[in-house]
Amino acid sequence: MTAEILSASGVTKIVPTSAGELTILDGISLEINAAESVAIIGASGSGKTTLLGILAGLDTPSSGSVLLDGNELTALDEEQRAVLRGELVGFVFQSFQLLGSLTALENVMLPGELRGDSDPRSEASELLRRVGLGDRATHYPRQLSGGEQQRVAIARAFASRPKILFADEPTGNLDKVTGARVIELLFDLNREFAATLILVTHDAPLAERCQRLLELDGGRLVTETRA
């Protein structure tokens, strides 16, 4: 498949700071095909998270354009981008981002409930079982370990039935062993759902598992490697 699901051209992000304007991203252009897995790598502070936010439509670029599944993101308002996110996109974050006041199951049910599904519970239970936490459904995030929390987050991300999954340093807060297990799960599910995966990481072995590597340095795309 070579159908293009995400493309960016000339994406620039400039933010005002007390010390004048700061260019975080400088003319980034890229193309990502459906079902492809892409790793964005680079040193800390190189602009990876910023780029991910813009590609996923969480943030807007200062200039340039982003085409997500045929929709020009810069032409949409926050309302329309939200709808698009709900339909197309799933997220996994470094800091898990579970709602502390909801149980594991309820967290996974969230996307379905926001969509207005008639029975979000059964699909969520199934996903929770799939990530190996079927018996922890009624536990609250603070009763789960970091790895378990990230598995709940992965289940929730796939509950969005995403065409494209964004993950920002999903193992950043986890130890090596746990991280490896979480990554395994992420790739398995990604394959199962035939989703596109965009993974931000500075963990080289993890990046190696992706089909393509984009390296950022000082807000510029410096190298592109195919695995």
Partner 1 sequence: MRLLLLLRLLARDWRAGELRLLVTAVVVAVATVTAISLFVDRLQAALLSESSTFLAADRVISSSRIIPDEFRVAAEQRGLETAETLTFPSMVFSAQRNQLVSVKAVSQRYPLRGSLRISDQPFVQGARTDTVPARGDVWLDSRLFPALGLAIGDIVTVGVADLRIAQVLTDEPDRGGSFFDLGPRLLMHIDDVPATEVVQPGSRLLYRLLLRGDDGDLADLRSTLDEELAKGFRWQSIRESSPSIGDALDRAESFLLLGGLLAVLLAGVAVALAADRYARRHYDHVAIFKTLGATPADVQWGYLTVLGIIGIVAVSVGLLVGAGLHLSIVGILRSYLPLELPAPGLKPLVVGSVTGFVCLVAFALPPIMNLRRISPMRVIRRDLEHAGVSRALTYAFAGCGSLLLLVWYTDSWWLTAWTLVGVLGIVVCFGVLATLLLRGGRVVGMQAGNYWRLALAGLQRRHRESVAQILIFGLAIMLLLILLLVRVALVDEWRQQIPDRAPNHFLMNIVPEQLGPLEELLTSRVDYKGELFPMIRGHVVAVNGQSAAQWESEHRHPDAPGPRLSSERNLSWTTQLSENNRLIEGIWWGEEEVEPQISVEQDYASSSHLSLGDVVDFNIGGISVSATVSSLRRVEWDSMEPNFFILFSPGALVDIPATYMTSFYLPADEKRFLNDLLSQFPTVTVIEVDELIRQIQSIISRVTQAVELILALVVASGALVLIASIQASRDQRLAEHALLRALGATRRLITGSLAAEFALLGIFAGIVATIGAEVTAYALQVEVFELPYQLHPWLWALGPTLGLVFILLIGMLGTRKLVNSPPVAVLRELD
Ligand X SMILES: Nc1ncnc2c1ncn2[C@@H]1O[C@H](COP(=O)(O)OP(=O)(O)O)[C@@H](O)[C@H]1O
Neighbour-count burial for 70-89, b at 16+ CB within 10 Å, e otherwise: ebebbebeeeebeebbeebb
Distance separating alpha carbons of residues 156 and 97, to the nearest angstrom = 10
Q: Where does this chain bind ligand X (CB under 6 A)? A: 15, 17, 22, 24, 42, 44-50
C-alpha 75, offset from chain centre: 22
Nearer to ligand X, 2 or 44 (CB): 44
Cβ neighbours, 10 Å, residue 212: 18
Rounded Cα–Cα distance for residues 32 and 198 (Å)? 9
| 5 in Cβ contact with 164 (< 8 Å) | yes
Does position 15 interact with partner 1 (CB under 8 A)? The reply is no
Q: Nearer Cβ to partner 1, position 33 or 110?
A: 110
Binding to partner 1 (CB under 8 A) within 20-49 occurs at 49
* Residue 46 contacts which entry, ligand X, Mg ion, partner 1, none (Cβ below 5-8 A, type-dependent): ligand X
Count residues contacting partner 1 (CB under 8 A)? 33
Interface residue with partner 1 among 1, 19, 21, 142 (CB under 8 A) is 142
Q: What is the rounded CA–CA span in Å between residue 7 and residue 65?
A: 8
Tell me how far, at minimum, the Cβ of 49 lies from partner 1, in Å: 5
Minimum separation from the CB atom of position 227 to partner 1 (A): 26
Q: Is 49 among the residues that bind Mg ion (CB under 5 A)?
A: yes
Strands of 71-72's sheet, edge to edge? 20-33, 4-17, 63-68, 71-72
Does 16 help bind partner 1 (rule: CB under 8 A)? Answer: no
Binding site for partner 1 (CB under 8 A): 49, 52-53, 56, 58-59, 78-79, 82-83, 85-87, 89, 91, 93-95, 97, 99, 101-102, 106, 110-111, 113-116, 142, 156, 160, 168
